[in-house]
Structure 1
Amino acid sequence: KRRHSRQDAISLCHALREARPDIIFGADFIVGFPTETEAMFDATLDIVDACGLTHLHVFPFSARPGTPAARMPQLAPQIAKERAARLREKGDAALRRHFDAQSGRTLRLLTERGGTARAADFTLAHTPGVEAGLMIEALCTGHDGRALTTRLTALGR
């Protein structure tokens, strides 16, 4: 049993967003647990919006031998896969909305290896040709669905 309720999670996200409007959240989800109904899965889809989640990690349930869940009647694997795909689509749409909101903004980024950088909210950005370990300012020019595209505007140390 979880120590926190669904409403606890929603309330926490709202309180944190009130204190820091630019905060973003991510969550890990396992879908297709043996007792999961379609209504339960719909509630999972709804919490993405209720909490304003941006980054989702989604996995279909996989029974682990010897556990209580492995002894329960299992959902058809195709149901778990289909639900995982639906939740991933919802997560991808949420991430695209976040990326779209960054377009045209100047961001402060910490550069990493491989021409990438991270914003203060940990959003990934492409920064080709910029060495790792620098704080930079870059104009967000769009995104490719996985990371922001940027144009360098100022170098820092």
Structure 2
Amino acid sequence: ELLVRKPRIRTDGTNMQPVKGELRIEGVSFKYPIRPTNQVLKDLDLHIRSGEAIALVGPSGGGKSTIVALLERFYDPDEGEITLDGFPVRDFDHEYYHRKVALVAQEPVLYDCSVRENIGFGCDATDEEIKEAAKMANAHDFVMGLEKGYETSCGEKGAQMSGGQKQRIA
């Protein structure tokens, strides 16, 4: 039995501009639909430059995961705007946006297959693109030090890798 429902976010965007990576959150307020009386974010402003690494730090319930959920477009803000390179994220083609923006959770999931297959999972990447992605994630050097390199098995749930290695591969 299938559940048929309309997504709460708009998924019909058409923007497919090349992405540099500058994110702006301007005046964003948000309440989860299931808790409409609980204001999670109120008038948030944040600017992340292309290539900049940031950390979201704060108490439990402070909105860190909510910010990530909004950037991933699991939800749209109630007020304010989130832009990528000056374009509203809601205007991007949904699939295109998700090929450009990715989430690596604190406990990433790896599959019982090779490092190469885990890095390329869900996309049609060449070996060169996989190596380039590994370099960008600071994984290439340790992968090349593994006995079978990119063909090394990660093991069930990534059991053959350290926590940091799992995050870089994911």
Q: TM > 0.5 between the two?
A: no
TM-score normalized with structure 2 length: 0.27
Query: Whose strand proportion is higher, 1 or 2?
Result: 1
TM-score normalized with structure 1 length: 0.29
Identify the structure with bigger relative contact order (alpha carbons < 8 Å, sequence gap 6+): 2
